[in-house]
Structure 1
């Protein structure tokens, strides 16, 4: 069972787990989750980025994040507070969008300040207590308030400890690159053309490619293909959709074109990939 999955009947969950459910699997979260490592170490992949998790590391998973556990020590444990997409909308509606982008790009942070550690462990402990109190008529409202407290406290720390340039990008190119990554994360399942993203950013395709080369030594098209391939892998692993249905979902002209595209970027056919992950 996925410990971080919320439902309409259970809009938040809290507890302790080793997250072995995510080992060598790609899972796209429909909701969000706050993780806090208490024991052991682990290596995670979050939206194509690799992270090494140690005790006192806080992990923020926003809705839509793609998570995979690559490896972990036997004693690895996290306390988690999983929350619905609607809950985070209410908790963050007054916060600067640049802050949310910053949080997504800096998903993990290891705390060394005792005060910060007390604050995060207090929040996690309170969420677990509220989750366990099933008879509390205000259970969901209290959880909502706890989540808002976490984001407000984190927002305060980020505003104090990071410069505006760090939050928004040190220059215009940096800002455009971050906006491009956000757009790709949002639209890659339906838009594979670099021109679409350049138009959204009000720049030329040549300038966008120059920005991605300078920022990440990779072309804009390669970034789009990486994110789309990751989305397809998640779908192949986590659903029973036919290859034709997957081709339709991701706007490929036909199943054959979809198969060639996937094999070009992974070295195996969609069917072969699904069988290796069964």
Structure 2
């Protein structure tokens, strides 16, 4: 995803996905890393909804639509355009299932050391510096997410809120809307994390930042997964415990 004559710092990408502990049905999450060329790529996380088979199909269709749109776009088509076309195609494909399926979606466009976020629903995108400074955190399309953004709820109260599971925007709905963030230039060792709500329903933002900002990227995701599954198991009585599928994609700029 890097162009040597413009950026001599290669990027690392790690993907993690697991179904909810004790869940007999398939994982409804999906993730993908698409390299368009040596300088451009796309990171994707989707969280299917509508029941096991329907949710899994919705997230899978969405990734397929995005992959086709990105990979089939000509060199004269901007990556942003390909991504937006892919999301629109995914929305139509899921709607045509006609079984009430839907999926959340988090997408990050990578061009050299610059990224741009896109999201639909409550799968989140976080960008954090090596010292722990949060450079980007998307706002979930949900009542609780909007309340946190407005300052009505803090992070702790939000994690325990009874309406945490409600989502107001999804791929596979007639009124789907795509939120597009501004371009963001990354510095060396900045980490980009895309994750389904299985992560942020169980760990606070500060906990996630502290783990993901440092150390080998693969080990950081393993640690996040371990901590999340401990919470899902309910071993800490005062902490939130919401078993769910868990999927994460992390990208980090490193020196060559």
TM-score (norm 1): 0.27
Report which of the two structures shows the higher radius of gyration computed on alpha carbons: 1
> Higher strand fraction: Structure 1 or Structure 2?
2
Name which structure has the greater RCO, CA cutoff 8 Å, separation 6+: 2
TM-score (norm 2): 0.29
> Higher helix fraction: Structure 1 or Structure 2?
1
